[in-house]
Amino acid sequence: MHVDKKTQKYDRQLRLWHANGQTALETAKVCLINGTATGCEILKDLVLPGIGSFTVVDGKIVDGSDVGNTFFLVPDSIGKSRAEVVTEFLQELNEDVKGFHLPENPIALIENQPEYFLQFSIVITTNIPEKPLLKLADTLWNAKIPLVVVRTVGFIGYFRIALPEHTIVETHPENILDLRLDVPFLSLKQYVKTYNFDTLDSMDHGHIPYVVILLKYLEQWKQDHDGKLPSTSAERNEFKQLIQSGKRNADEENFDEALSSAWKACTATKVPRQVEEIFKDSSCENITAESSNFWIIVRAIREFVSNEGLLPLAGSVPDMKAYTSGYVAMQNIYRQKAKEDISIVRVHVHDILTSIGRSIDSISDDEIDSCCKHASFIQVLRYRSLQEEYITDPKKSDIGRWLRDSQESIVNYVLIRAMDRFYESHNRYPDAATFFLEDDAEEASEEARSEFSTLKTYVNILLGEWDITNYPEHLDNYIHEICRAGGSELANIASLLGGMVSQEVIKLITRQYIPINNTIVFDGVKSTSSSYIL
């Protein structure tokens, strides 16, 4: 018997995002604009784990410097279409992935035929100037297709995710424990009653599951305290002493487990604030035929909560010291209750589906199960659009505040924006590199000074637009650094950024784990990275 090759090949990643994540990945169509060093690194890290297909749109012809910073390119590639050769090499990494290329100038394509990009599940751009970028961003935003904007120059890396809405069920929290110790449900209460601690022999007493111990003493506490939980730290210590007093000898690990979870038992189970916020969201409020499965299930869970007061039970039980039989019995009680909760939610889901004219089997039971199980941890991310960031609502005061702190990386963002302005009027990036080469950057030549002051002008224009009046002194060093880099991409920064971007792209495609919101700036000089909402 043989496990199929695919499962074997992807074994190590299936452990992170499971079969459903892998399926999402394998159906994804990824578009890369410009096969730069960074672009290739991003695609490499997506082709290896097995995306469905990729398309490289790039009108450039390979030159020597591409060969120098892109691992896949060899001297023979020089003079050929960059889209074609990088696609060929990337394709070799994984035969399961389909690779396409379009050797056309992406800027012209965006200008003349933006609807071309609507066929993809995600679009990644590297080194696209401001104007065409904004047009592309608009097109994708309206179609709800995620866009990832990536830039690397010298030691600086930057990327930005734009997408109207991203909903996540499987956020992979560290611990999804939900034991309802403060509000035990009926079958759990009944089970606890079957234990009479006093009559158990020492073997059995040492194997009472800690959940039962906690429930028993909490019950006793509530009887003595008008039905209230221990709330102050003094009360909690008192509660711990109560448990401690029941311990027959020092070896009873189950009592130790109960003591270490005592604080948890004293915490009231309730709907987490962030989930309440999601319930209040207008997408949850106004369910229409266009609503996504996520919102329909979340609405059903909201109905459940308004009747039952709590979220559906997650149903899993942690490992603990117990007899196998006792453990399994308790596990079954939690599982059974979780199943009951899910079936109530399912009825709500079906009602909603019927009311909006969709068939009741258009949402699978697995999808409902998963959402109920992770109900406490669901997330909704709403990104700001590039339109807002660049034109209608720039974060003027935040940028000003961050800029005043010389430890922040935001200055790199300002530089990248200024560099784009430079490009717009000169049709090239600021480049003083060749003027530095001879004596290793110490004595800048006349030409270098001129590049520096031109770029500084654009920085000042931007600062002006953001109403930032105090010019931060440390900015000069960064401007100098950008001029020195001369638009160069460093292979190593490209690799690092490639890893970071592809990681976020996988999160977006699989809808698992929580992606960055919305900008990351990496400063390779200081080896720091910061995230900003811009």
CA dihedral 493, 494, 495, 498 (to 10 degrees): 120
Cβ 416 to another protein shortest distance, Å: 16
Q: How far apart are CA 67 and CA 73, in angstroms?
A: 5
What is the 3-class SS of 238-286, one letter each residue? HHHHHHHHHCCCCCCHHHHHHHHCHHHHCCCCCCCHHHHHHHHCHHHHC
Cβ 74 to another protein shortest distance, Å: 6
Q: Which residues pair with 29 in a beta bridge?
A: 53
By C-beta, is 301 or 497 nearer to another protein? 497
Report the residue from 75, 79, 227, 357 that binds another protein according to the rule CB under 8 A: 75
Over the window 486 to 515, marking each residue x when it contacts another protein by CB under 8 A and - when it does not, the resulting string is x-xxxxxx-xxxxxx-xx--x------x--
Report the residue from 93, 176, 329, 381 that binds another protein according to the rule CB under 8 A: 93
Q: Which residues pair with 102 in a beta bridge?
A: 57
Report the residue from 193, 428, 449, 526 that binds another protein according to the rule CB under 8 A: 526
Report the residue from 140, 147, 516, 534 that binds another protein according to the rule CB under 8 A: 516
Q: How far apart are CA 220 and CA 117, in angstroms?
A: 65
Cβ 512 to another protein shortest distance, Å: 10
Cβ 433 to another protein shortest distance, Å: 4
Q: Which residues of 263-284 are buried (b: 16+ CB within 10 A; e: fewer)?
A: eebbeebebeeebeebeebebb
CA–CA distances in Å: residue 103 to residues 40, 53, 64, 112, 207: 15, 17, 19, 15, 69
Cβ 139 to another protein shortest distance, Å: 27
Over the window 221 to 260, marking each residue x when it contacts another protein by CB under 8 A and - when it does not, the resulting string is ----------------------------------------
Q: Residue 328: CB partners within 8 Å, gap ≥ 6?
A: none
User: For residues 148-167, which are near another protein according to CB under 8 A?
Assistant: 154-155
Q: Is 76 in the site for another protein (CB under 8 A)?
A: no
Which range touches another protein (CB under 8 A), out of 6-14, 217-225, 345-353, 363-371? 6-14
Q: Is 522 in the site for another protein (CB under 8 A)?
A: yes
User: For residues 347-376, which are near another protein according to CB under 8 A?
Assistant: none
By C-beta, is 42 or 218 nearer to another protein? 42
User: For residues 439-458, which are near another protein according to CB under 8 A?
Assistant: 440-441
| 42 contacts 90 by C-beta, under 8 angstroms | no
The site that binds another protein (CB under 8 A) totals a number of residues, namely 87
Which range touches another protein (CB under 8 A), out of 141-149, 225-233, 269-277, 438-446? 438-446
Cβ 332 to another protein shortest distance, Å: 12
Report the residue from 58, 252, 369, 408 that binds another protein according to the rule CB under 8 A: 408
Q: How far apart are CA 443 and CA 319, in angstroms?
A: 67
**Cβ neighbourhood burial of 318 (10 Å; 0-12, 13-18, 19+):** exposed
Which range touches another protein (CB under 8 A), out of 91-99, 127-135, 217-225, 263-271? 91-99
By C-beta, is 125 or 495 nearer to another protein? 495
Q: What amino acid is encoded at 212 in this protein?
A: V
Q: How far apart are CA 40 and CA 46, in angstroms?
A: 10
DSSP string, 138-207: HHHHHTT--EEEEEEEBTEEEEEEE-S-EEESB---S------SSS--HHHHHHHHT--GGGS-HHHHTT
Which range touches another protein (CB under 8 A), out of 10-18, 116-124, 225-233, 338-346? 10-18
The neighbour count for residue 353, using CB atoms within 10 Å, is 21
Q: Is 16 in the site for another protein (CB under 8 A)?
A: yes
Report the residue from 19, 118, 143, 183 that binds another protein according to the rule CB under 8 A: 19
Sheet holding 98-102, edge to edge: 98-102, 53-57, 29-33, 122-126, 147-153, 156-162, 519-523, 528-532
Cβ 303 to another protein shortest distance, Å: 32
Q: Is 211 in the site for another protein (CB under 8 A)?
A: no
Cβ 62 to another protein shortest distance, Å: 11
User: For residues 300-339, which are near another protein according to CB under 8 A?
Assistant: 319, 323-325, 328
Report the residue from 10, 158, 210, 478 that binds another protein according to the rule CB under 8 A: 10
Which range touches another protein (CB under 8 A), out of 114-122, 220-228, 353-361, 480-488? 480-488
Q: Residue 419: CB partners within 8 Å, gap ≥ 6?
A: 153, 429, 430, 455, 458, 482, 487
| 420 contacts 492 by C-beta, under 8 angstroms | no
Cβ 293 to another protein shortest distance, Å: 22
Over the window 31 to 70, marking each residue x when it contacts another protein by CB under 8 A and - when it does not, the resulting string is ------x---x--xx--xxx------------xxx-xxx-
